[in-house]
A = this chain, B = another copy of it.
Amino acid sequence: MSLSEAELIARFFRDCGAQRHDVALGIGDDAALLECPPGMQLVATTDTLVAGVHFPAATPPTAIGHRALAVNLSDLAAMGAHPAWALLALTLPEAEESWLAEFAAGFGALARAHGVALAGGDTTRGPLTITVQLLGHVPQGRALTRAGGRPGDLLFVSGSPGDAAAGLAIEQGRLAAPPAAAAYLRERFLLPTPRVALGERLREYARACIDVSDGLLGDAGKLAAASGVGVEISFAALPVSVQLTATLGEHAARTLALTGGDDYELLFALEPGRAAELERELPRGEWNYQRIGALCTTRGARVCHDGTVMEFSHSGYQHFS
């Protein structure tokens, strides 16, 4: 096949994302022109997915497209930001049309669901690597960061961490699970749900927030360190899905919830006096979050169970170590 870069972009990406009035000039020139609304700060993030590192080589292209945007949406969610515009840098061994169509379908569906325009990008030849840059905005001075937590703050996590790590292990043939559980867990890995709406609502409540991508325990440690405090997590309070428990048993499920990666959930700290208000305004059954611990003065991240502190061999994913 022979598809020029211009044809490839026109065919698969020109109308891939949402249509937005604040894109003054989108795909097709040397750069995109975007209208940043007055009174807002710009929020910018980038994340790369490398085939064989961040997803198995055989992952369906739809899931790769979804995931490439989802991991960036999760970063913006952690800042309490509203996503608006994406740039897509796609490096491909070859311009295979069915692959591109599926990739664009996965990327585009999630982009449209969040009102994100695909405003530009670059396609190059090389080993399969996808880098998305996501831009959004947040009212001036209102962004959530990792740094605002204080001792005594309550710690919450959304969703059911650990599912995605189990799903990846199933994808890779390293873990067996009952069929229904396997389908659920694989989808939790392949099609993560970024908590964008929760992040935006948390601007009113949370004092600090981080997205859980490299393992809950490690990411809790990062939030605590950035806030200049420590963190204590209650092992028994960790929310785990029935599917994960059915697959691993309760203890191993909670352990994976702490140390697995790829969750793309939000971990946030709340002033204790505001817990009732949070639960009234954002009912837990609807918003799907759980209290799992608290910030404290003693530095470091600890997990407590039946009155003792548990030890873990690793607390998150490290790319270079």
Which A residues contact B (CB, under 8 angstroms)?
A: 2-5, 8, 24-25, 28-36, 38, 40-54, 74-76, 78-79, 81, 85, 87-89, 91-92, 94-95, 119-127, 129, 131, 133, 135, 138, 143, 145-147, 209-211, 226, 318-321
Contacts and interface: CB of A to CB of B under 8 A. Distances in A.
Contacts of A209: 30
B120 A318 contact: no
A33 B29 contact: no
A50 B89 CA distance: 11
Contacts of A41: 24, 33-36
A79 B120 CA distance: 14
B50 A5 contact: no
Nearest to A49: B124
- Copies of this polypeptide in the complex: 2
B87 A44 contact: yes
A43 B48 contact: no
Given A44-B119, A48-B124, A38 B35 contact: no
B5 A46 contact: no
Given A43-B32, A135-B44, A145-B29, A127 B124 contact: no
A320 B3 contact: yes
A146 B29 CA distance: 6
Given A5-B320, A145-B29, A46 B91 contact: no
A124 B36 contact: no
A78 B45 CA distance: 24
